[in-house]
Structures are given as structure tokens and as C-alpha cells.
Amino acid sequence: MKQGIKHAKTPRNSRRWLGLGLLGLLLPLPKAMAQEVPAPDPNGQVISTMPALLGDTVRVRLELQPDTLVAAPVPVDSARLEWLRTPPTLRDLVGDRVGCFETDAPHQFNSSVMAYVTLFTARNRSYLQRVLERENLYFPTFEKYLAKYNLPTDLKYLAVVESALIPTAKSPVGATGLWQFMGPTAGDLRLVRDEWVDERMAPEKATEAACKHLRYLYGVFHDWELVLAAYNWGAGSVQRVMRRTGKKTFWDLYPHMPAETRNYVPTFTAIMYSMKYAEAHGLRSDKLRYQYAEPMDTLGLRGRAFDLRRLSRACGYDDSLFLTRFNPELRRAALPAGYRSYVVRFPASAAEHFGDVDRNTLLDYCQPTAELPRPLAVLPPRLEGVEPWVSKQLLAATAGPRAEDESAAPRYRRVPHKVKKGETLASLAERFEVSQSQLRRWNELPKGKALKPGKQLVIFVPMPTAAPSVPKAPAEALAIAAPKSVRPVVSDEEALARKEQAAANAREVARVQELIKQEKLQETRLVAIRQRQAIQQAAADAQARAAARRLAQTQAAETRRNEAKATVVAAEPEVAIETASANEEPANSGPYTVRRGDNLTKLARAHDVSVAQLVAWNKLNSENVVMGQRLVFSAPVEAEAVAEAPRKQPKTAAKELAAAPKAALSKHDLASKVHLVQPGDTLFNISRRFGVSVQQLREVNHLTSDEVKLGQKLVVPQS
């Protein structure tokens, strides 16, 4: 019984506890406990950092409150953080060393510079050690060209920043070489770039180009920090930021620059410090493989094909590409025939392997074993319904497109002409058988404006017209009239006869053209003869008029002399006038030297003759005269008559004066001559010429000094 009663009580207790558990589940949970219930993840599982309760499958995750630093992170400057991590003694030591640099290159010390100093001397020591191995190979070349262009020597560390002293370095954007030149900049600096050679990778040529570019940038900014920024970002970009912000220094523009340019100047300063104090930081070691420059020898190719691998074998190197390190600008290990002049560099110590081999034999050995690759020929575009351009081979095999259309042949020949003095548009048009409007249109000349001497003109001279076609034989006409699809069969004899007939036709055409040419020449000669005859006739008429005019003048002079015989006082001026006119006439009748500004029209008016007479008397081909040319103003027969007249005139005057009372004429008046001062004459030269003293000339002509003027008339007494 007790056992039965006991078993009956047990289910009652268990039911009591079960009811209490259900009641607790139905009651609402507290707010704090509700916040601790995690939200399920996308897969429907709930992850908790707390261990699971016994028999419980729900995991609880504790979340941080939103007022902690993790919920709202504060950004920290990496350079500032590195500055704070660096011991103060090391910061002060590096700052003192950088401040003691005696250079014009940028060397300002701050947290950004210290961050890169730590990078190169502690965290990434292997990078700077690889640079130190190549330092002695390239720095002497950099220093030579920097000194040549009067730039700071410490700018040599800029190549370390750009390429780590690797001449074949290439950036993702295409900058190449030790100094990382872009294509347009290299073109501006005259660095050759083609499929065979890229001179951006040539150490000496690229270094000299970099010095020129740095000198140009310094002339723009006059600040080396801005020069380095412009070298990386571009001068135009830096100038635009300066105009937009109004700032003038690099550190003022620092926040407005891209990240690469902001870090460029601090990197340069850190590299300069790290390489100068490499031993202090333990960067130099005996295990490093240092490279040094060695004496080099050269081999000029002069347009011959060349294979650098065969030269490497001739020099005794196992590596066939060993010499490419001395010629880094070669994009391939060979050069084609006909390439521009190129000089290959190789160590001078390797020349002993050549022995007594001369240059031609060495170049023959270095010929490429296989033909070098050539660029593919450009294919013409193929469009539907449009025929492509014909090739050169097809044009050479046929007569070409102009054989079908003769009217498309050029009808003019281009002739350059330089305008000479005296030439006009009308004379040029008549000379070249073209119109004046054509000359103006070809040379864009304004209408109504004269041509200037020395102007270069382009004239299109008409080509001779083709000879009329010879009537074809009936057999040829039938052959042409036949359909093109049927090709007539021509025997060898008939073909030979056709060739002979064609040759005969060509000879006949040539003979006709020669006759036409001779007729034109004959017509030109006749025109010239007619012009010459007209000029001679005009000269004869003018000579007759001049003779009549002189005869009238002589008669008038005789009349005046007869009237002057009455008084001796009136006779003395007449003698002086006649003597002066007698002396001036031979002077005017002699040769005349053309001066600046003279022309035939002006000279003809001055000497009372016509232009046609001057052309005929001086045998001129045109109406143009040049300075220094000698001209005469009388015909040959007339000149003799003029020469005789002065000789006879003094005799007549002497006879008339002899008839006058001798007491009225003095010895000085009987023996005197009038001289016209010429260019270069002085009173001393005139006295020596006529055998008198300077004192006599001054007394007779009432002169107060020895100066005479051009064209002045002097009375010269005769001894």
C-alpha cells in the first residue's frame, strides 16, 4: 500500500512543476532580457558568443553599445601614427641630418618624410639595397649632365624615385626609362621612338633630356618642390591648382593634389636621406653585388642589318642576350638593313676576342640568320558594292586609269618666277602667254596693285597641244569595232608592220612640231627686226631735229656775237659764256654712269632725247637700267660732230677777239677755261691737273677756303 500510495504521489508533483514552467513561458520577458536575444542571420541561424545552455538550442550574442569607439571609428593619419610610434631620439636625429643638407633640392623634414624614412631604412630595406647596387653605375652619368646644365647635383635621386635605377622600367600608364618619360614628353625632347629603338631607355640620352626638362620647369615655377610636383603631375595641372586656390608653395597646395603627387616630394627627401646615410642604418653590406661602369667600345652599323646575339657570341659570352644590358634602348635584339645610323656599345675588354678581324668581317658575321619580321601590308577597305583601290602591281601591269581619259592629263606646267625690276603683270602675261586674271588668281594678287621686285610668283605655262591623231587603217578600225570578247589574231608580220607604221607616224608628228616651232621662232625674229627698225627710224628723226635745233642755236649765237663787236665790255661776258658752253658740251656728250633712282624716262627728259633713242644708241635689250651702267646720249656720228664743234668754236672766238681792240682784253681773259667740279674733285687735284697753283685758283674764283662743291664752276687760268 505504501508503495502504491508513493507511486500515486509522484505524478502529482511532476505535474505541479510542469505547470509552473508553462506559466513562466507565458509571462512577458523583461526588457533587458529581450535585448539580449540575437537576431537570426540570413541562413536562419542564430550565432552567439556565449556557450549554449544545457538542452537549449538558442544561442545568445552580446552586442556592443552604440556609444563605444568601435561603433563610431575615428580616422587616424598613418603618417602621424608612424611619427608617434618613432622614438623621439630617432626623430630628432633624422631631422638634424636632413636640416644639415647643403643643397637646393627639396629637403624639408616633417611627419610624411619620417614615415618614408622608416619605410626605406627599416620595413623595406631590400628595396634600397637593390638601388645601392646600381648606384655606382648610373650616378656618375647623372652628375655629369646635371653639372653641364647647372642643376643641383642631388636631383640624381629623382631617378631612384621614378625607376629604382632600372633603365627598362615601365609604368602601368606607359612611362618608360630611368626618368619615366611619357610618349608626348619624349617627342618634345627629341627622343626617338619606333618599333626598333626607344631612346627613353638609353641612359645618357634620357638623362640629358631629363636635365633639359627640369631646367624648363624651374624656369616656369622657380621652386624645386613645385618642379618635382610638376615633373610627376604635369606643369599644366600644377598651374591650374595654383590659379584656383591662389597658393604659391607645395605645402600650401598639398591638400589639393592627388595622393601620388602629395607623396612624391616626401619620397624624394626620404630617398636622398636614406642613400646618404645608408651606412649609418646598416644598409650597405659585403653581400651586395655592386655594379660599376667599365670602359666601353662602339661599333657603327651605317645602315647594315645587325643581330646583337651573334655579337654577344663573338665577344665570348655564353648568354646571347648579355649585350642588351649595355644597349637597353633596343626593343629587339636585331636591326634591319637600311635603318638609320646606330652605334652598338659593348665592353672594351671583349674586343680581344675579335683578334685581327676587321670591321666589315665582323658586321658580316653579325648578319641576322633569318629575315627580320616586316610589318604587314595595309589592306584596302572592302565595302559591299565598292571596288577596292588597285594595287601598285596592277597599275604597273596596265596603262593606268589616265590611259582611258586623255582629257584628265595636265594642260599646264608649273614654272616659278621671281619678279625683276621693271616687270609688270601685263609684260609677264605676254611673256608666258597667259592672261593677267590667271596670274592674279594663281598668286592671289590684288587688282590694281603693282608688282614688287623680288616677289616669288607661280605661273602655269600652257603645255603644247597633242598632235592630231592619224587616221587608222581599215583593219585597225575593224579590230576596234569588233566585240571586246573576240580577240583578233595578229600575225608577227602584221605586228611588225604596225610597229613600223607607228614609228613613221611618230616621226611625222615630230617633224610637224619642229616646223611649227621654227615658224614661231621666225615670227619672233621678224617682230624683233621690225621693232629695231622703228627704234632706228625714231632715232634718226630725233637726230635730224636735234641738228636743226643746233643749227638755229649757232645762227642765233653768231648774230649775238656780231652785235657784241661794237663794245669791248659786252664782248668779255660773251667769251666766258661761249667758253663755258664749249667745255660743258663735251662733258655732257661723254659716257654717263647710272645712279640710284635713275631710269630711262628721267634721263631722256634731262638730256632732251627720247627713250627709243637711248635704247638704240646704247644697244639695250629692254628699258631697264641698273646702277653703275654707263650710257651715252648721242649717236656715234653725232658724237664726232659734237667733238669737232668745240675744237672749231674756240678758233672762231679767237679770230673774233683778235679783231677787237687788243688793249681791251687782258692776258688772263685770253687764256682761261671753265671747269665743272666732278665727284671726288678737290682744289689740290684740280690745280695738279691743269698745272696751276691752289692760290691762283682761289684768287681767280674769289674763294675763301679750299672747299668746292659738286657741280660748281671754276675758272682755271692757263699758263
Strand partners, 459: 415
Cell 631604412 sits at which residue?
A: 121
Tens of pLDDT, residue by residue over 31-68, are: 444 444 444 555 544 444 444 434 444 555 555 455 54
Which of residues 531 and 150 earns the better pLDDT score? 150
Confidence at residue 579, expressed as pLDDT on a 0 to 100 scale: 46
CA torsion sign, 417 to 422 to 424 to 426? Answer: negative
What grid cell was written down for 623?
628699258
Share of the chain above pLDDT 90, in %: 32
Q: What is the pLDDT of residue 590?
A: 65
Q: What is the dihedral of CA 652, 654, 657, 663, to 10 degrees?
A: -170
Element (H, E) at 717: strand 713-717
For the ranges 7-16, 93-102, 591-600, the lowest mean pLDDT is seen at 7-16
How high is the mean pLDDT of the chain?
Answer: 77
Least confident of 48-62, 191-205, 257-271, 622-636: 48-62
Dihedral sign, CA of 351, 354, 356, 357? negative
Burial 176-189 (b: 16+ CB within 10 A, else e): bbbbbbeeebbeeb
pLDDT number for residue 396? 56
167 in Cβ contact with 207 (< 8 Å): no
DSSP string, 195-247: SSBBGGG-HHHHHHHHHHHHHHHHHHH--HHHHHHHHHH-HHHHHHHHHHH--
Backbone angles phi, psi at 304, to 5 degrees: -90, 150
Say if residues 41 and 47 touch (Cβ distance below 8 Å).
yes
The alpha carbon dihedral of 528, 534, 536, 538 has a sign of: negative
Three cell numbers written together for 445: 594678287
Residue 533's pLDDT is 79
pLDDT digits (tens, 9 = 90+) for 618-641: 888 777 888 778 888 877 654 444
Question: What is the band of 19 on the pLDDT scale with cuts at 50, 70, 90?
Answer: low
- pTM confidence score: 0.46
Start-to-end CA distance of the chain, whole Å, equals 201
Query: What would the pLDDT profile of 637-696 be if each residue is shown by its tens digit?
Result: 544 444 444 444 444 444 544 444 443 434 444 456 788 888 778 887 788 778 888 888
Q: Inform me whether the pLDDT recorded for 135 exceeds 50.
A: yes
pLDDT at 295: 93
- Residue 337, C-alpha cell as written in the block: 638593313
Q: Is the confidence at residue 435, as pLDDT, over 70?
A: yes
Q: Residue 403: is its pLDDT beyond 50? A: no
Helix axes 203-221, 235-245, angle to 10 degrees: 20
pLDDT digits (tens, 9 = 90+) for 63-120: 545 554 444 454 556 767 777 777 888 889 999 999 999 999 999 999 899 999 999 9
Q: Would you state the torsion angle of the CA atoms of residues 356, 361, 365, 368, taken in this order, to the nearest 10 degrees? A: 150
Q: Look up cell 640624381; give the residue.
A: 156
In 231-330, the DSSP E strands lie at 296-300, 306-307
Q: Specify the higher pLDDT residue, 622 or 427.
A: 427
Residue 439 is classified by DSSP as H
Average pLDDT estimate for 252-265: 93
